[in-house]
Each structure stands twice: as C-alpha cells, then as structure tokens.
Amino acid sequence: MKMIAVVDRIESLQAVLLLGEEEVRVCLPLTCLPPISEGSVLDIAITLNKSQEEQRRCEATMLMQKLKRPRTET
C-alpha cells in the first residue's frame, strides 16, 4: 500500500503527518524520518512482513511454553 503524507507541523521531537486524502493524523518521531520541514511531502509505503511475523509468533510461542513448564525444585 502506498500513500502520500504531508508534514503538518513539527512538535518537540515528533512530526505530525496528514496521511492520504482523508488527512488522517499520525505522529512519528523525527528519528524515523528523513530531514523534513513543515509542508514536506513524503511517499509512504506499507508492506506486510510475513517472515518477521512468523518468527515473532514462534518466539512468543516458545516463551509461553517455557513459562508454562512446572518449576523443578533444586
């Protein structure tokens, strides 16, 4: 999914972006963005990362299994 975002304003260390034609307001840390100023136009691309999703699900499942194991007396 691709969309356009306009930098509405910069507050503290965050940029307030207006996404798409609906101008949905989103705040992002400036550290996540290239050098910008008010009025800058950004191309935003959002993609689904299935491999990372699967890896994180596996890690969460393993952690849950580890937490559910009965403790052994030492």
Laid out side by side, the sheet with 14-19 consists of 24-29, 14-19, 2-11, 41-45
pLDDT of 71 reads 79
Neighbours of 17 (CB within 10 A): 22
Separation between Cα atoms, residue 20 and residue 5, nearest integer Å: 6
Predicted pLDDT of residue 74: 64
Q: Can you give the pLDDT at residue 69? A: 86
As a whole number, the mean pLDDT across the chain is 94
What pLDDT, on the 0 to 100 scale, is given for residue 57?
96
| 0.85 exceeded by pTM | no
The rounded average pLDDT for each run of 10 residues, N- to C-terminus, in the chain (74 residues) is 96 96 97 97 96 96 91 72
